[in-house]
Chains A and B, each alone.
Chain A
Amino acid sequence: MTETSTHPAFTPPTRFAVPGRIVVNNRTAGMWQTATLTEIRRETPRASTFRFKVPKWAGHLPGQHLMLRLTAEDGYAAQRHYSIASAPDDSGHIELTLDHVEGGEVSGWFHSVAEPGDEVEVRGPLSGFFAWPGDRPALLIGAGSGVVPLMSMVRHHRARGLPVPLRMLVSARSPEELIYARELGAETTPVFTRSAPEGVPVARMAAAHVAPLLAEQPPGGWEAYVCGSNAFAEHASRLLVAGGQPVDRIRIERFG
């Protein structure tokens, strides 16, 4: 990656729909460091938030992720990418919210074994593509634990009192399974797919949910961030395109 000005960079005939938002610091992204678990908070029956002390954390932007590694006594290691849930701050702590995945060796350890004081390793933050620096109006659409990186954006927006508009549309099976339910405010519209509070319809996310948000285009237009399973991401991104959101203003983070 030492491209010099002697070569004009190749530009494909189609400009990439969604160029990266920030330059990633390759040095911090490449370094494994110890993260000490300091707190576990139950969010839903299936998801908990894990807070870590990471003294040398380089700082992140909302939407970025990290790689987490667990090592066993015999040297066997398992690593996974996780979105960062906490807003950037200078506390020397970061938070992850993890679903308990059936048979998941890493999430299983977190949900069954982990206690404050335990140590894991992390490297990051990684990838600038899904990052939101807080500069453009943000339209956030998530499902299930897809709300995690979006919540980092919501928290950042609040903590800094950012003037740009931010709205979130989040799908959950039921109110009990809505992660961060107590924290969500007027910026958020929840959609419940299996059971809903009285007076709220049970529905799959549909054009009718997206249309009112796309109708109130802020100056400069929405930058849309979609996060969830691939099936949800395909569905939500099609709703956005059909609703008139430009394809080059849709960023998608899919689980996998």
Chain B
Amino acid sequence: MNVSRGFTGRARVHHPGLPPGQYDAGDDWPVLSAEVTPELAPADWTFRIDGLVEQPRTWTWEEAHTLPASAYEGAIHCVTSWSKFGVRFGGVSLDAFLDVVRPHGSATHAVAYSHTGYTTNLPLADLAGGRAWIAWEYDGEPLPSEHGGPARLLVPHLYFWKSAKWIAGLRLLDHDEPGFWEQNGYHARGNPWEEQRYAGD
């Protein structure tokens, strides 16, 4: 252990919800997208799932809103070390979309992509089973564009770069393909509880 002389750090609050190396950002919600925030109206937003599925499908804003509403309340964790607690997102469980397209048994991974062309890769298992959403509300209000509105992917059990803003679609694959940050040195899965920040962690 390499102690830095005289460093005490903030008060030790036992916080079972805080993954290793993270701190509670409180009310802050930093924005860290690398591209210009797009001007994307709900009417121009679409969401598509294709690749290794029985029935590829594109949803419009209106069509997506006919699926059963689902909410996430809990924490989100950013790889830059902040975590945010008590967030409330509203949208639709990704399971509702996957049930329509019916993934092939051979599908193991997905590349999520944005209307800006941003990409991130995820194991399909992380997108199913009630752990992922297409979210368009935050705290009961429309999701702000700088936070990915009109709609973003939400996979709160992984570092937040996996929760692609301005989500445009998922391509289901039988192998893993690194997305934007993953090609820039970030971890393929990004589990905050195992501190999978960078490739090799």
Contact = CB atoms under 8 A, between A and B. Distances in A.
B82 A14 contact: no
Contacts, number: 163
Nearest to A115: B5
Interface string B1-25: 1111111111010000000010100
A26 B199 contact: yes
A77 B22 CA distance: 9
* Residue among B1, B5, B82 having the largest count of chain A Cβ atoms under 10 Å: B5
A109 B115 contact: no
A143 to B, nearest CB: 15
A129 B184 contact: yes
Contacts of A237: 36-37
A254 B184 contact: no
A73 B180 CA distance: 38
A12 B116 CA distance: 10
B175 interface: yes
B182 A77 contact: no
Contacts of B21: 77, 79
B169 interface: yes
Interface string A232-251: 01100110110000010011
The interface residues of chain B, by DSSP majority, are classed as loop
B30 interface: yes
A109 B185 contact: no
Interface string A61-100: 0000001001111111111110000000000000000000
B80 A120 contact: no
Contacts of A241: 36
A29 B177 contact: no
Contact of B1 (A9, A75, A80, A253): A75
B94 interface: no
Contacts of B5: 113, 118-119
Interface residues on A, range: 35 or more
B3 A18 contact: no
Nearest to A246: B36
B182 A255 contact: no
Given A70-B4, A81-B80, A113-B6, A256 B32 contact: yes
Contacts of B117: 12, 14-17
Contacts of B114: 12, 14
Interface in A2-45: 3, 7, 9-10, 12-20, 24, 26-27, 29-30, 34
Contacts of A16: 35, 116-119, 180
Contacts of B151: none
Contact of A10 (B28, B80, B171): B171
A113 B169 CA distance: 49
B81 A70 contact: no
Contacts of A105: 9-10
Contact of B168 (A14, A128, A234, A253): A14
Interface in B162-192: 168-169, 171, 173, 175-178, 180-185, 188
B92 to A, nearest CB: 21
25 contacts: A3-B176, A12-B171, A15-B117, A16-B35, A16-B117, A16-B119, A20-B183, A70-B7, A71-B3, A72-B7, A73-B3, A78-B23, A80-B81, A81-B80, A105-B9, A113-B5, A113-B7, A118-B4, A128-B185, A129-B34, A130-B34, A240-B36, A250-B36, A256-B28, A256-B31
Given A15-B117, A29-B185, 10 more contacts: A13-B168, A26-B185, A71-B4, A72-B8, A78-B7, A78-B10, A129-B184, A233-B31, A252-B33, A254-B33
